């Protein structure tokens, strides 16, 4: 099968493009209109570079050093020095998919014709992506303002044939060797090009796009496991009725309730909550599941709106305006203007907001798991769902693991975007910390998947115990149980080495197999 190719034009990109390049290894190709837009903007830069008046980013230093005018014979060195000095990251390597997303998004902005780089710069970056060459980028180095400077500088350095990169075989080698092996000529940067390569919010945006995709699947997965728990606790599905959610018209809440109702359709276990231990209402963690997951869904919708706006943006400073009047003028009135569009606040805020939503969804999920394991609140289930309680501990410590994860997610929910550390001799005196917000969100998303996986293990075991007593689960529930067991998720029985089983459940959730199993019966879930 032919590999997908993403065409990059001046108008921006989609989240699907980002995912295809970052995760599926899609090839990229610059459109003719993108090449033309870059060439037109470059003519403006070249004209301004020839003038004696200083123009920021073209013939000056950077940041607090912008007061110095740089003579023409030093400008190539200026760009090399900028990239080398800014490639100052430290710490562990960032994941390959993050670096590919970052590179693709920087390429998208170069193709906009707003940065003033020559087409060859963008074409070389496209060649790196297509060859599977991934620069080594480190965890620390971005304040999320003036762009993701250090991460992008490490990528720009590889374009120059310097630094280190991972080849398509996974081995890390000197960048010059990798470029030569793939027939790619290093780029000799000219006026403004080094700055254009490092001045963007591409790292945090790439991580936002991927987190949105992952969280969309996890919100649906959490709806499924919440339905399983409601059923295992003999709860009532009446609280999921559409008319109840219509009178509080949050779209996410209605979607989550509808998902749960579909999963529970045809259950012989729901509605029996008054048989053994009468209760007027189910506990909040069960009854309010759509309200909490739904609020997370609405938060996700807002985050996607922000991501879509950023995907349509050209983030650089200064930017090239082709045509118009005023400012530092080149041919046809084209000019270069300074701006603050590199500030990561819009992205940083929603990254933090999503971390809060993930933590709260994990919190309510853990409470449902604990209820399944407590014989005083589980309505007839054995303590800790153990085979022989006292001899067997059942899922007791699985809940400990889940609780530890929830506690970690609560710490990760502390916003990074409210912090700011002045830099560059107080020229850059307010920063977004958006990169940090993105990094902790990636950890939170993975933790949420593990929390949902533990609920799956507990709820599916509880449901099978109910069937031993003659209960009939919903058809969608039965399909989930069958698929989970086939994937190695454990059912009832004597104690066993539990860690591999929990990892199997995590893989089942993270891959989307949990949702797919339910959808075989329910049809598409929101």
**What does the alpha-carbon distance between residue 465 and residue 481 come to, in Å, rounded to a whole number?**
12
The string of DSSP codes covering 211-270 is HHHHHHHHHHHHHHHHHHHHHHTT--GGGG-HHHHHTS--HHHHHHHHHHHHHHTT-SST
Q: Is 140 a catalytic residue?
A: no
Least Cα distance to 229 among 514, 505, 477 occurs for 477
Cβ(141)–Cβ(213) below 8 Å: no
**Residue 72 structure tokens:** 């023409």
CA angle 221, 225, 306 (to 5 degrees): 30
Backbone phi and psi for residue 415, each to the nearest 5 degrees, phi listed first? -70, 140
**Cβ proximity of 363 and 340 under 8 Å:** no
Calculate Rg over the CA atoms of the chain.
27
Locus of tokens 């399944």: 372
Evaluate whether 414 touches 329 at the Cβ level (below 8 Å): no
Residue 70: exposed, middle, or buried by beta-carbon count in 10 A (0-12, 13-18, 19+)? middle
State how beta strands 134-135 and 164-166 pair.
antiparallel
CA dihedral sign of residues 345, 346, 351, 355: positive
How far is it, in rounded angstroms, from Cα 291 to Cα 284?
Answer: 10
From the candidates 56, 284, 349, 506, which is the catalytic residue?
56
CA distance 330 to 322: 9
Torsion from C-alpha of 513, 517, 518, 520, nearest 10 degrees: 130
Alpha helices in 386-498 (DSSP H): 396-412, 434-468, 475-486
Q: Which residues contact 483 (CB under 8 A, 6 or more apart)?
A: 508, 513, 514, 516, 517
Can you tell me the distance from the alpha carbon of 204 to that of 307, in angstroms, rounded to the nearest whole number? Answer: 10
Burial 228-256 (b: 16+ CB within 10 A, else e): bbbbbbbbbbebbeeeebeeeeeebbbbb
Positions marked active-site: 56
């Amino acid at each position: 099968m032919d590999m997908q190719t993403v065409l990059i034009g001046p108008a921006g990109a989609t989240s699907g493009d980002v995912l295809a390049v970052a995760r599926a290894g899609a090839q990229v190709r610059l459109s003719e209109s993108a090449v033309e837009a870059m060439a037109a903007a470059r003519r403006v830069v070249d004209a301004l570079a020839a003038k004696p008046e200083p123009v920021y980013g073209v013939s000056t230093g950077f940041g607090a050093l912008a007061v110095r005018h740089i003579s023409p014979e030093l400008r190539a060195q200026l760009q090399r020095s900028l990239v080398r000095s800014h490639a100052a990251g430290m710490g562990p390597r960032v994941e390959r998919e993050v670096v590919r997303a970052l590179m693709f998004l920087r390429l998208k902005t170069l193709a906009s014709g707003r940065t003033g780089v020559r087409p060859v710069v963008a074409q070389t970056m496209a060649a790196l992506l297509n060859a599977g060459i991934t620069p080594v980028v480190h965890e620390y180095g971005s304040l999320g303002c003036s762009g993701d400077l250090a991460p992008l500088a490490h990528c720009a350095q590889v374009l120059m044939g310097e630094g280190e990169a991972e080849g398509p075989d996974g081995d890390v080698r000197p960048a010059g060797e990798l470029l030569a092996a793939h027939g790619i000529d290093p780029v000799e940067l000219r006026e403004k090009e080094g700055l254009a390569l490092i001045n963007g919010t591409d790292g945090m945006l790439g991580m936002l796009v991927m987190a949105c995709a992952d969280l969309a699947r996890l919100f649906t997965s959490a709806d499924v496991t919440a339905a399983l728990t409601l059923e295992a606790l003999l709860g009532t599905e009446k609280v999921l009725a559409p008319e109840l959610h219509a009178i509080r018209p949050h779209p996410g809440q209605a979607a989550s309730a509808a998902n749960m109702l579909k999963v529970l359709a045809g259950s012989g276990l729901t509605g029996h909550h008054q048989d053994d231990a009468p209760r007027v209402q189910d506990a909040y963690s069960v009854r309010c599941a759509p309200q909490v997951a739904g609020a997370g869904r609405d938060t996700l919708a807002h985050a996607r709106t922000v991501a879509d706006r950023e995907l349509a943006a050209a983030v650089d400073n200064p930017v090239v305006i082709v045509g118009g009047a005023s400012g530092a003028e080149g041919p046809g009135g084209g000019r270069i203007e300074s701006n603050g569009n590199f500030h990561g606040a819009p992205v940083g805020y929603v990254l933090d907001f999503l971390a809060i939503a993930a933590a709260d969804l994990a919190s309510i999920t853990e409470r449902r798991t604990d209820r399944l394991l407590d014989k005083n609140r589980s309505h007839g289930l054995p303590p800790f769902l153990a085979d022989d309680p006292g001899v067997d501990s059942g899922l007791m410590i699985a809940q400990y693991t889940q609780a530890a994860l929830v506690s970690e997610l609560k710490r990760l929910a502390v916003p990074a975007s409210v912090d700011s550390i002045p830099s560059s001799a107080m020229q850059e005196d307010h920063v977004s910390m958006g990169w940090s917000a993105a990094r902790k969100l990636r950890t939170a998303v993975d933790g949420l998947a593990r929390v949902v996986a533990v609920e799956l293990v507990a709820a599916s075991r509880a449901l099978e115990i109910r069937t031993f007593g003659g209960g009939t689960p919903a058809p969608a529930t039965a399909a989930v149980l069958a698929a989970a067991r086939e994937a190695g998720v454990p059912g009832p029985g004597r104690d066993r080495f539990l860690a591999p089983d929990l990892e199997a459940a995590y893989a089942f959730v993270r891959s989307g197999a949990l949702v797919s199993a339910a959808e075989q019966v329910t049809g598409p879930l929101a």
